[in-house]
């Protein structure tokens, strides 16, 4: 609560909107993190499963890069509340996406139209 | 109840805060102290306003909308109903082009913001024009892609996969479209009133909006297009 009250010397605005240098660094990293997955998929140098894992990891990495270099989220901006909101949202996003996939995968598996009717199993 | 004495002593110590402290809940006096501190710097900067944080929280709810659409797409991605699949439909070079448009538009908007912070009105306007043009190129290519898919019979009605696809990608495209409209509105505002504090605050929110759309697009091109083309 009082962390940024007792820190009047550090002007919170000065660090938050980046510089030409930081934008360029972020852009170059993001460009590489975009180009590599496109190249991996379009050239097919790796096995599909490996490609999928690598591409997913690169996407997560690129989201982090954008968040830091373009959205300027850090522990200081707005007294840390943007970061708190972001972490909360990230948890919710992961629960929504992976929770849905998990539930629907099992629902799909249990409700296959050709499956035998579960008379004995679900009778009682 | 227990907070009441604390509140009264704060008002006693800082009479300037009394208006705000009465309106706010007693649990949040820190907020007003921060605002006062920034007033003491002289002119209030755009950060003295609670708007950027409020807008950030709106963006987080927007991210949740996209999370539900991603989840829907993830569940229905294999529900082709005998119709065309991702592999038959997606044109990766076109998606790469679109991704480049949006990524470059992120850095041009960054340049607009840097010029804004330096008080360069012409530079800000110029970079906003470039950003809007890149955004229009993105939406144009996306509409071309949608038109091509619909022409091939891959309409949203064809299968659950295509319904989810058009909903997810279309919602993102609609966001970009409104971002372009917002850029146009801000260019009129800056042209008329200059880089006043209110316009700087609005441009900050618009920048966050634009950059978040780029973050969402990372998810789209990775999980929809690239992983779809692998199957």
Q: Please, what is the Cα angle at B202 between B143 and B209, to 5 degrees?
A: 40
Q: Which of residues 109-138 of B touch A (CB under 8 A)?
A: 110-111, 113-114, 117
Residue A56: name the closest of B67, B100, B161, B228 by CA. Answer: B228
More confident residue, B224 or B4: B224
Q: What is the pLDDT of residues B171-205, one digit of tens each?
A: 999 999 999 999 999 999 999 999 999 999 999 99
Which helix (H) or strand (E) segment holds residue B107: the answer is helix B92-117
> Cα-atom radius of gyration of chain B, to the nearest Å?
23
CB nearest A96 (choices: B30, B68, B106) = B68
| Domains of chain B as residue ranges with CATH | 4-40 (no CATH), 46-230 (1.20.120.80)
Residue B142: is its pLDDT beyond 90? yes
CB B101 within 8 A of CB B138: yes
- Kindly report the nearest CA distance between residue B11 and chain A, in angstroms: 17
> Cα-atom radius of gyration of chain A, to the nearest Å?
23
Give B231's DSSP letter: -
- Kindly report the nearest CA distance between residue B111 and chain A, in angstroms: 7
Backbone angles phi, psi at A74, to 5 degrees: -150, 180
Q: What is the largest CA-CA distance in chain A?
A: 73
Q: How confident is the model at residue B37 (pLDDT cuts 50, 70, 90)?
A: very low
For A5, nearest residue in chain B (alpha carbons): B34
Q: Which residue has the tokens 């009133």?
A: B193
- pTM score, whole prediction: 0.79
């Amino acid at each position: 609560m009082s962390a940024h009250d007792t820190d009047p010397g550090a002007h919170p605005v000065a660090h938050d909107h980046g510089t030409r240098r930081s934008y360029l660094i972020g852009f170059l990293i993001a460009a590489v993190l975009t180009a590599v997955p496109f190249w991996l998929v379009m050239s097919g140098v790796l096995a599909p499963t490996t490609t999928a894992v690598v591409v997913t990891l690169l996407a997560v990495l690129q989201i982090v890069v954008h968040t830091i270099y373009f959205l300027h989220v850090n522990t200081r901006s707005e007294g840390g509340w943007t970061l708190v909101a972001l972490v909360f949202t990230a948890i919710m996003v992961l629960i929504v996406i992976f929770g849905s996939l998990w539930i629907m995968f099992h629902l799909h598996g249990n409700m296959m139209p050709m499956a035998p009717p579960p008379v004995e199993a679900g009778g009682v | 109840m227990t907070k009441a004495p604390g509140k009264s002593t704060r008002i006693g110590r800082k009479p300037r805060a009394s208006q705000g402290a009465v309106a706010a809940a007693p649990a949040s006096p820190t907020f007003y102290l921060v605002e006062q501190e920034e007033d003491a710097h002289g002119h209030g900067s755009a950060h003295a306003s609670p708007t950027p944080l409020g807008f950030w929280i709106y963006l987080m709810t927007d991210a949740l909308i996209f999370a539900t659409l991603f989840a829907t797409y993830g569940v229905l991605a294999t529900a082709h109903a005998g119709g065309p699949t991702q592999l038959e439909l997606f044109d990766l070079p076109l998606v790469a082009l679109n991704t480049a448009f949006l990524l470059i538009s992120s850095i041009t908007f960054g340049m607009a913001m840097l010029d804004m912070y330096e008080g360069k009105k012409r530079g800000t306007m110029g970079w906003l024009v470039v950003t809007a043009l890149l955004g229009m190129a993105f939406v144009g290519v996306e509409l071309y892609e949608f038109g091509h898919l619909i022409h091939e019979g891959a309409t949203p009605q064809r299968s659950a996969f295509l319904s989810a696809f058009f909903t997810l990608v279309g919602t993102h495209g609609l966001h970009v479209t409104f971002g372009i409209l917002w850029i146009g509105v801000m260019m009129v505002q800056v042209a008329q009133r200059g880089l006043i504090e209110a316009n700087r605050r609005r441009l900050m929110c618009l920048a966050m909006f634009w950059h978040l759309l780029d973050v969402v697009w990372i998810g789209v091109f990775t999980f929809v297009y690239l992983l779809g083309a692998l199957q």
